[in-house]
Structure 1
Amino acid sequence: MPPDSTAAQSPTIRLRRSDERGYEDVGWTDHWMTFSFADYYDPDWVHFGPLRVMVENHIQPHEGFAAHPHRDAEILTYVSSGILTHGDDQGHEAHIGAGEMQLISAGSEGMVHSEENVHDEVEHNYQMWFIPDRAGTDFAYHERRFSPEEREGEFRCYVAPYSDEVAGENGPAPINTDAYVYAGLFSAGDRIQHALGDGRGAWVQVVEGRVDVDGVTLQSGDGAGLTDTDALDFQFEAQSEVLLFDVHMDVPLLWT
């Protein structure tokens, strides 16, 4: 679903300002929670289509999450700066750097993993959980990375719904729900459109920078869900790093 020049109608917008998110400081990291998560609950902010969790983290040097379990979740981590070191009970070890996404399908039988910053600089990431569109999924592990030059001025597709076309190593990582996930780097003055199909919505999350999306200005940490439109218009007002989630809004919620 690449961006195109389709004319857009005025969208319905759910705006989530950075300082309105749930917040927790545990000392060695902070959690900025877009949707209800763990001990933070807001009935007005539970999910956006299959996107159920979005947490921004800043992990301090030589700290991290000890081994812990997950099941029945599609777990996506995007690193903005620093390096996140991953290990799991399925034998995977990885160092996820800036501009890289990791996708773990935890599967119905579950898995155990750890996430640590073993380096001397703060690690900054966004972690998202998606609800699978069916029960009985298998464990799977994927990584995708684009250089700054490959992301400059466009939304690069890191993740797409599972199919034979995306199952290979060179395509987007395959996710077990109807979601496309993009990231891009943009300069002040850049303009771009993204088309949306019927029944779909887009969540825009600004990692850093400033962008106008269909008349709404979003800055660092801000997010917005947009529905009821055929296309989104982006006008970037500063050097920006932005995540874009294109999801089908009518999905079975296997868990809430």
Structure 2
Amino acid sequence: MLGLLSEVGGIEENRVIEVVKKGVIKKLIIAWAIGTEVGGIEENRVIEVVKKGVIKKLIIAWVIGTCAKMFVTEVQFGHAGSLTNSELETADMKNRAMHAAGFIVPETFEELPDMLEETYRRLVAEGAIRLKAEHDLHDPDGLQELMYAGMHITDVFKENIGLGGVVSLLWFKRRLPEYATKFVGMVLMHMADHGPAVSGAMNTIVATRAGKDLISSLASALLTIGSRFGGALDEAASMFSSVPCTKILRSSTHIGSIR
């Protein structure tokens, strides 16, 4: 199983892993796949804890923004803070440092799918990953009743296992204790209304999971841009205009304070 920790581009990284391996399990099991971006020093902190032995699991990592060296001046890659303020923050330097620390780092982003598959097959051959048969969702008795990990859908409703119970059957392939299903349900309730700020990302995810191509999925997100979502230029103007004219402040410092 492979966990995914992404600072940027998580949707595309999910798609890459989905192509290489069936499913993306977002929990710490065998290995981590990390996708980050140029700028900041968060990767250096991860490198330090790996060197100290705090993190012992295998990490496959890639920092985007290696093309930045092709430009004469600094380039903002979209997110606040996704630009370099020193050599230590460049994507090339981070990738080299992670490789030196024992991370599995491809030479290019295009090599990432092959490296994921190669690493996965190697872990299977070494016995670090044990393959298990997937649960069949159809009714073996031929009644065509939906089953979740061996549990009939009618029993799901009869026993009132709730949304957390259904998640446990579909994601963990087994019935979790009541305290665990209650916790899952509580998390979903808290995340149910996350406001309009990530509606674009959510729409892209839904469209992607529905099998739409990348352009169509992106378009489904762009079409939701409105007064409550998007308008990044207007919002950025408001943030910078709110700084008093008498206050001397570097733009990078201001961005860092509001991230």
Q: Which has the larger radius of gyration?
A: 2
TM-score, normalising length: structure 2: 0.19
Give me the TM-score of the superposition, normalised by structure 1: 0.20
Structure number with higher helix proportion = 2
Larger RCO, structures 1/2 (Cα 8 Å, 6+ apart): 1
